[in-house]
Chain A
């Protein structure tokens, strides 16, 4: 169990993912991934959403790598970090580590000699399956030859609770929020507007560094933290609907119901397979309790 320096405890932490009914109908593998991590020093939740476009053939693996990269990089943050140490240089380093870790995982999937700068003409045949090659146009194959990470394109959201701080990271669409003890919702990246309609930024972009957003806040009044892929949030379309019909009820359920986690997992599965917009859905959530301060939720 994680107890922070000021007596806050992670009472609940879990993640869940469900394939969307549109993907079931089209026989497409789930492209979302979610993960969580807890030890005595830090608690992490993360969700990633692989892209559905025709070129992103391995985005289900890309999303898995995204969660893995975020967790592993968050683990490298010093347990005694304070808000004062969170300089622009620190943020840049964090972003770079995430991108490098993810790209390393992608590179390990390929049979190439990194010492050679020129891509071998046989790169496609040696690294893609015949089924994958058949699904791609000539221009797409050419693109992959020169930027293989495209196959793995994914969004990435996650946060870590460490030493009374909440450090949040977002690239691409989806939503990361925290609810305070009065039931008010805070959206660290509310001003990001480069992800609209079905267009999103991606870890596979060459300028991904520019599109990773980082936020740090003190844990003091936070009750619950949510990370969701867009398959969840797009079902609600507006912040107030998301708060009143999703985040607040889930917070209450997880605080008050013994079988709360099971109820929430069942709901997410229903949202994905029946009631949502058809897209894959992922949720990561943490409930935080202060041993001394009462919440009104």
Chain B
């Protein structure tokens, strides 16, 4: 075989990558056991994803974390594979700059060749989980959310809003606007079960989303509906939560 032919046969075929993006409220009201549980949940999720990745020949898991307090900022602007992710506990302080979080997300839900974090071709619909315990600042979060809805990667993403020990209906409505038709708002009544909830979302989504059958963008039942249904079924057994 010629050198050129060998060049063509090299093993650079990439596994599919699932991006898991966590948007984490680190405002002052999260101080104490809520922030502790979020930190513990993230550490456990990272370990869990590492094990899942090791068992899965077809999919890699990349993680991106963003916090929003008075400012929104990425902990890592580039996605990092879970095997290489070193997580430091998040400290809570400040207010709840949700519109900043949406704006930063908007900048990154683009192809890598356009400066974003998503693949140039293919890929798997990401999971974007928004965790919060309260009402956002007065800020243009609706406008920023509308901008996000114009992004194809946001439109196909599986979106979960997790309301941590939160009963304020106005704040829940903000999460409902975020998830829209592509996910659910889960009210976690006890922060202790955060780990279980996030694990169920990630595991279920990774199993369904990594199958390759493609779907027309218009007018058909979306694959995300299948995932949502399975997540609902799987979460049912966990205590201390509500839709």
Contacts and interface: CB of A to CB of B under 8 A. Distances in A.
A196 B214 contact: no
Interface in B55-114: 58, 110-113
A106 B152 CA distance: 29
A174 to B, nearest CB: 9
Given A250-B8, A253-B8, A257-B5, A235 B214 contact: no
Contact of A201 (B123, B124, B216, B222): B216
Interface in A177-198: 190, 193-198
Interface string A34-78: 000000000000000101111100000000000000000000000
A22 B123 contact: no
Contacts of A200: 214-217
Contact of B14 (A153, A230, A236): A236
Interface of B: prevailing SS: loop
A153 B215 CA distance: 9
A271 B10 CA distance: 11
Contact of A198 (B11, B14, B212): B212
A98 interface: no
A173 interface: yes
Contacts of B14: 235-237, 241
A53 B213 contact: yes
A6 to B, nearest CB: 29
A249 B216 contact: no
B125 interface: yes
Contacts of B212: 22, 52, 198, 277-279
B72 to A, nearest CB: 24
A237 B119 contact: yes
A239 B113 contact: yes
Q: How large is the interface on B (under 10, 10 to 19, 20 to 34, 35 or more residues)?
A: 35 or more
Contacts of A199: 125, 152, 156, 214-217, 222
Interface string A231-251: 001111111011001100110
Contacts of A205: 216-219
Contact of A236 (B4, B121, B156): B121
Contacts of A207: 218
B2 interface: yes
Contact of A197 (B11, B12, B113, B156): B156
Given A175-B121, A197-B156, A267 B8 contact: yes
Nearest to A254: B4
A220 B58 CA distance: 42
A238 B5 contact: no
Given A236-B13, A237-B14, A241-B14, A197 B216 contact: no
A202 interface: yes
B9 interface: yes
A22 B16 CA distance: 14
13 contacts: A49-B214, A52-B213, A54-B213, A197-B125, A200-B215, A200-B216, A233-B121, A236-B14, A237-B123, A256-B4, A275-B11, A277-B13, A278-B58
